[in-house]
Amino acid sequence: MPVREFELFHGAVLTKIVRSDRPMTLRMIETKPGESWSAYTVNGEITLILKHSATPRKLKRERGSFRWQFTLGAEQIQQLIGANSWLGLICGSPNIGKRAPMEVCLLDPKDIESLIDKSSLVQQPIFVNYQPGKSLRASSPKSEEIVVPRNRLDTWEIPGS
């Protein structure tokens, strides 16, 4: 059975989460492989929505800079309404392993509140910008740029761990 693109990208994030010495539970709530997203419950306390994009656009302003766009649908927005919801935006490339930038932009509940309008269930975009040697920048039509450390997933103190 072939490995689907979303399984590959989501697996990278899930591996980082479970590779700690702390006990943890992880349960998939829902998945829509054709829409590149899945929702998970971590430690029975938080919801983690993962969404990936393998189509970076080069930015002209600085060499090696890229932007990814993620579109959140009504179902995803509803799942993000809870206070303990996190959003992992997997910024991928079709050229895995060929020095293409690949990052995970992990957004906490406060970031999500800034970036999306939770009172509206219409599709909403979030953009993630990458510049070599700098933190990630997440933005949306509702918000100015938010600085997101590139190592946030690695240093994340997962509730309930």
The token duo for 5 is 């693109």
The token duo for 63 is 């060499």
Q: How many domains does the chain have?
A: 1
Residue 160 belongs to some domain of the structure = no
Residue 69 belongs to some domain of the structure = yes
Residue 23 belongs to some domain of the structure = yes
Q: Name the percent of the chain lying above pLDDT 90.
A: 41
Per the structure, the complete domain to which residue 124 belongs is given by 5-155
Residue 161 belongs to some domain of the structure = no
Residue 70 belongs to some domain of the structure = yes
CB 129 within 8 A of CB 67: yes
On average, the pLDDT of the chain sits at 86
Q: What mean pLDDT do residues 5-24 have?
A: 81
94 compared with 74, residue with greater pLDDT:
74
CB 83 within 8 A of CB 108: no
Predicted TM-score of the model (pTM): 0.90
